[in-house]
């Protein structure tokens, strides 16, 4: 797939732009949920205020710890700066909370203006966030690409009518057939978007 028609790029954060070392199995273990439990979806099902508060606090603490340790993925920082130099609008859509997202952006000095977290819109794979960003940037979704590392990212892009792009790692290759475009190093994305 060619990417010359792309006019803006939306990124996922954890596992895509940054390694925040979030251990989802450890989060589940700390809460007492089975490994692999979708955190936000399970949280939404809790109707006991004390259970909800406890689980929510554990998730938030893990996210803040991750933000305090987050480091750039190889080539991601250079990619963002190269795209910005080419006047490409950049945005971020994450299932992370606003406080941890803001801390990560500030610590790493990310050149991204438009940011949506789970407090701003329905969580992925709901397309609301991507559609809101398309509206904000005044671009049709078809002229935007969503870059992520997980099946939710691919599904969110598809649900919004946007090109999906999977950043490959050793854990997600089985999702590759569902993505419109895949890459294993950010240099490849930079090159594809600058042609």
Range of the domain at 63: 24-69
Average pLDDT over residues 170-183: 96
State whether 157 and 105 are in the same domain.
Answer: yes
Which residue pairs from 152-155 have beta carbons closer than 8 angstroms and sit at least 24 positions apart in sequence?
Answer: 152/95, 152/124, 152/125, 153/12, 153/16, 153/124, 154/178, 154/179, 155/124, 155/125
Decide if 134 is inside a domain.
Answer: yes
Q: Is the pLDDT of residue 2 over 80?
A: no
Q: Is the pLDDT of residue 195 over 80?
A: no
pLDDT at 1: 66
Q: Is the pLDDT of residue 179 over 80?
A: yes
Q: What is the mean pLDDT of the chain?
A: 95
State whether 15 and 33 are in the same domain.
Answer: no
pLDDT tens readout for residues 46-84: 999 999 999 999 999 999 999 999 999 999 999 999 999
State whether 135 and 44 are in the same domain.
Answer: no
Decide if 175 is inside a domain.
Answer: yes
Tokens 């977290």 map to which residue? 117
Q: Give the CA distances from residue 147 to residues 30, 58, 89, 93, 115, in Å, rounded to whole numbers and listed in that order.
A: 30, 27, 14, 10, 14
State whether 65 and 148 are in the same domain.
Answer: no
Contact 192, 1 (CB under 8 A): no
Rounded to two decimals, the pTM is: 0.93
Decide if 1 is inside a domain.
Answer: no
DSSP 14: B
Window from 19-23, 94-98, 138-142 with minimum mean pLDDT: 19-23
Instruction: Specify the CATH number for the domain of residue 140.
Output: 3.40.50.1000
How far apart are alpha carbons 41 and 25 in whole angstroms?
15
State whether 50 and 116 are in the same domain.
Answer: no
Decide if 2 is inside a domain.
Answer: no
Total domain count, the chain: 2
Decide if 79 is inside a domain.
Answer: yes
Contact 128, 121 (CB under 8 A): yes
State whether 83 and 155 are in the same domain.
Answer: yes
State whether 41 and 114 are in the same domain.
Answer: no
Cis amide bond preceding 41, omega within 30: no
């Amino acid at each position: 797939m060619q990417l010359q028609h792309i006019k803006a790029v939306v990124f996922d954060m954890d596992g895509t732009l940054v390694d925040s070392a979030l251990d989802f199995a450890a989060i589940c273990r700390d809460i007492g949920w089975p490994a692999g439990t979708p955190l936000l979806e399970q949280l939404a099902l809790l109707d006991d205020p004390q259970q909800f508060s406890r689980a929510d606090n554990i998730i938030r603490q893990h996210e803040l710890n991750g933000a305090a340790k987050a480091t750039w993925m190889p080539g991601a920082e250079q990619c963002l700066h190269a795209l910005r130099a080419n006047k490409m609008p950049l945005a971020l859509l994450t299932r992370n909370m606003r406080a941890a997202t803001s801390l990560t952006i500030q610590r790493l000095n990310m050149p991204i203006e438009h940011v949506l977290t789970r407090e701003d819109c329905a969580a992925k794979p709901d397309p609301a966030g991507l559609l809101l960003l398309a509206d904000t940037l005044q671009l049709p979704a078809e002229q935007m690409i969503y870059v992520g590392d997980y099946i939710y990212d691919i599904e969110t892009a598809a649900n919004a009518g946007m090109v999906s792009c999977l950043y490959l790692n050793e854990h997600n290759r089985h999702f590759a057939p569902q993505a419109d475009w895949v890459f294993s190093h950010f240099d490849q994305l930079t090159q594809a978007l600058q042609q």
